[in-house]
Every structure is written in structure tokens, then in C-alpha cells.
Amino acid sequence: MKIKITLSLLLMSFCVIGSSNWAIGQDNNVGLIVGALEHHHVQWPDWGPSFFPEKERKYKFQVRVLFEKKGSSWVAFKHDANNSEDLKKSIKYYPREIDWLVAFDGKTIGQLKSTVPDTIPYYACVGLHVLDPNAKSPTVGKITKEFAGWSDEPCFRPLVLVSKNYTSNPQMWKPVRPPNSIIQQCKEAFIKVVGPVALCDEKSGHKIIANNYSSRINHIKTYQSKDGEYLTCYRLEVPYNNKCDEFSDDFSDQWFFINKTGSVQHIGEKMALLDAGDYDKDGISEIIFWYSRYDEDGYILFYNHFSNHAKFTWNYH
């Protein structure tokens, strides 16, 4: 009985999707679509990283179809499913076959093809396409946990896929060290967004409510466009203290956008910057983030100088 349960969980961790459509021609109705090439460790999140010995770990690449340009808006493909019947029907909302360009940092670094699967077995598989078995999947950087998601398994960073030859980054977003004035503005904005926090009084071991904790907020990373806009991330650092362990909070990284006039806008938390590119060729770069929280992973695409966004997420149970 124990063996059967283990095998059942193992199958649940695989998005085992197949397709019999490789012989069909290109779908001429494919519009302007953005997806992601994901590097996925095949295991159930609850098992943790020690379930498989390192030499037995199995990874695969998979394609997830995410967003489509409709008129002047980016729209997420249908990804909400409440039961197995919803999952089965979700296939009809996705293109049958897509030829992709792989984008990174304003450049095209590969080409792939994917096809709609015969079925979608689990919630975490929503939006997946079957990757051409002959595809050569490019990678960038090293395997880390930055984009691990809820499974907490190290992987290569996802790469943006575009159905048209639109991979440039005209705003030329690049990492920089921001001016002190920007850092101070963002710390003030951080406190307004997060509000009072429970911190540990290291002498007494009691919880204290702090309203001004600017000195504990650390700058993590910043990117600047050629137009003088900033995209920046900050984190509240709270040293571990065993006297106050019961009061510890999960303080998420907070992201802010600063426009050319210096106005600060909070854009979200629990995110990691994936890439920037002009995916609709309107002269303004879209920004895509990886998004992850408990039992939920996904992507957020910001456009029109962060005035609009589209969000694609999935759950695991």
C-alpha cells in the first residue's frame, strides 16, 4: 500500500502531457503571444529536496503559454480551474501550435516549437504546451533557487518566449546603484505600504510594534531605463533572535517603480524580475516577473510604464 501511495504522488508531480499533433501544419491564427520556457524538477513539492539523491534528480524543460495581446491590452490566457472538467476544457482556449523565439536581455537566443497537449491532468499543468522533442532548449546562468517557486527546488531561470520576432529591449533596462535620494524615497514608500511591524526587543525578548524601521530596510537591487526610470527592490532585514522566535514575520521583498518625474509606485511583492523586452513592438519595454507564494506560482507582465498588468498563476492543490 505504501508503494502505491508513493507512485501516485510521483505521478501527481509530473505534468505528463503528450500530443499527437506534430504532423499538423502551423496554426495560421496564432496572434501575438508571450510564454515561458521553464526548467522543471519533477517531484512533488511536499517531498523536499532530499527525496531524490542528487544523482537521481530528473529535470525537464516545458513550455507554458501565458499572455496574448488583444487590442491595446495584454491578457492572460484562461488559467482558473475548479475541477478536472475545467482542466479538460481549458485546452480549447490555447493555440494548437506555436513557433517561438526565445528572448533574453533584448536578444533572440533560440527558437522552439510547441503543441497543445491531449489533456491537462493537474492544476499545476494549466497553460502547458508539449515541447518539440527535438528542441534544443537554451539556458542562462546557473541552477539556483531564485525561480524555484513553491516546490523550492533549484532550477534554471525561466526564459521568455515570443510568437513574433519582437525581442528587443528599447528602453535598455540595466542594473545600477541608485542615488541615495531614490533609496530614501523607496524606504519611506516601503513603510507606507507595509505599515507597522512586529519586531523583537533583543534585551527583553518581548514583541514591540515599530512604526519607523528605515534603518532595517536594505536595498536589494535596482534597474534603470535609458529614459531615467527606476525599478527597484527592498527588503526588511530582521536578525533571528531565539527569544522572539514566536514573533517572527515573513517579510517579503517589495518592488517599486519610479517614473521620470520621481513619483514612486509600489508594484508588488513575492516577485523576481525575469526579463524586459518590447514584446509588442510599440517602442516601450514590457517587464515580466516571476511570482511565487504558498501553493501559487506564476508570472506578471507589466506594460505601459507599469500603468497596467496581466497575471497568470496556477495552484498545486
The predicted-structure confidence for 120-145, as pLDDT tens digits, reads as follows: 888 888 999 999 888 889 999 999 99
Helix, strand, coil distribution of the chain in percent, nearest 5: 20, 35, 45
The predicted-structure confidence for 134-174, as pLDDT tens digits, reads as follows: 888 999 999 999 998 888 888 999 999 999 999 999 999 99
Q: Report yes or no: 267 and 287 within 8 Å, Cβ to Cβ.
A: no
DSSP per-residue codes, 51-80? SS-GGG--EEEEEEEEEEEETTEEEEPP--
Tell me the domain boundaries of the chain: 2-165, 174-269
Model-level pTM?
0.85
Cell 526565445 found at: 102
pLDDT of residue 59: 72
What is the rounded CA–CA span in Å between residue 216 and residue 236? 6
Q: Which residues are paired to 235 by β-bridges? A: 218
